[in-house]
Amino acid sequence: MSVVRIEHVYKDYQLGEQTVQALHDITWSIDAGVFLAISGPSGSGKTTLLNLIGCIDKPTRGKIFINEDDVSEKSANELADLRARSIGFVFQTFNLLPVLSAAENVEYPLLRRADISPDERKARVNYFLDIVGLGKFANHRPNQLSGGQRQRVAIARALAIKPSIVLADEPTANLDKATGREILSLMKQINRRLKTTFIFSTHDQKVIDRADRLVQMEDGYITAFGVRNETDKSWNLARVRTLPESENE
């Protein structure tokens, strides 16, 4: 089953009097449970695409389905409710609230969920802090934690809503190499254990090396789809002819 389905999506931005087309006719589906990297140079459209999948932004044209639900025409309140139930976010800058403890940061997105009791919130906070190895640091504030620990809190916060999708925008960018590898290993373990779909926007080769699916982008187009060969870990890449004819001649 597709956890995300994208049909002929375009995204335009207005820059003064000029219209900038950030995405061009994207059609794509993402299977549930994959560990997927969207790669490409700056300005390729990968973060724009991630924001559309995350229902943070809307397409100019086309349709996006999350768990087979068409989100393209939903209201801001409906999208907020969908994010609160189905989509977790991990950012390169962690985005933790500095006045809250690790446990309170993990609990924060659950507070808008009337269907989750205080006891259930507490159980989820404890469970997911344990999963990321920070049960003993529940009462620490972000400034008392290392960068890697703060990113682990961010991962626990993303998982606490029990999402079908976790979106990660350059999650290793502010971490040293060793810590970045540890965080990627943790996310891969969670992917395998909980079957949560992870979608990364990244420049980082370490992330690409961990992925089992790859999408390459350039100038707002998808240029290739890749599937990891489990035997020798090489990529089976399918090139996609998406650039206009005038750019290919």
Task: DSSP letter for 211, please.
Answer: -
Of 62, 69, 60, give the one whose Cα is nearest residue 4.
69
Helix axis angle, 118-131 to 147-160, nearest 10°: 140
Helix axis angle, 177-194 to 147-160, nearest 10°: 20
Evaluate if pTM is beyond 0.95.
no
pLDDT of residue 248: 45
- Taking residue 168's Cβ as centre, other Cβ atoms within 10 Å add up to 26
Model confidence pLDDT, tens digit, residues 58-102: 999 999 999 999 998 899 999 999 999 999 999 889 999 999 999
CATH label of the domain that carries residue 90? 3.40.50.300
Average of per-residue pLDDT across 27-45:
94
pLDDT of residue 241: 59
Look at the chain and report how many structural domains it folds into.
1
Distance CA(249)–CA(245), nearest Å, equals: 6
**Residue 115, domain extent:** 2-248
Q: To the nearest whole percent, how much of the chain has pLDDT over 90?
A: 86
Three-class secondary structure of residue 63 per DSSP: strand
Asked if 217 and 185 count as a contact pair (C-beta separation under 8 A), the reply is no
List b or e across 32-51, with b for residues whose CB sees 16 or more CB atoms inside 10 angstroms.
ebbbbbbbbeeebbbbbbbb
Distance CA(151)–CA(93), nearest Å, equals: 8
Distance CA(66)–CA(40), nearest Å, equals: 23
Task: DSSP letter for 41, please.
Answer: -
Distance CA(33)–CA(195), nearest Å, equals: 5
Q: pLDDT-derived band of residue 249, with 50, 70 and 90 as boundaries?
A: very low
Model confidence pLDDT, tens digit, residues 165-224: 999 999 998 899 999 999 999 999 999 999 999 999 998 999 999 999 999 999 999 999
pLDDT of residue 245: 53
Asked if 62 and 8 count as a contact pair (C-beta separation under 8 A), the reply is yes
Model confidence pLDDT, tens digit, residues 92-128: 899 999 999 999 999 999 998 999 999 999 999 999 9
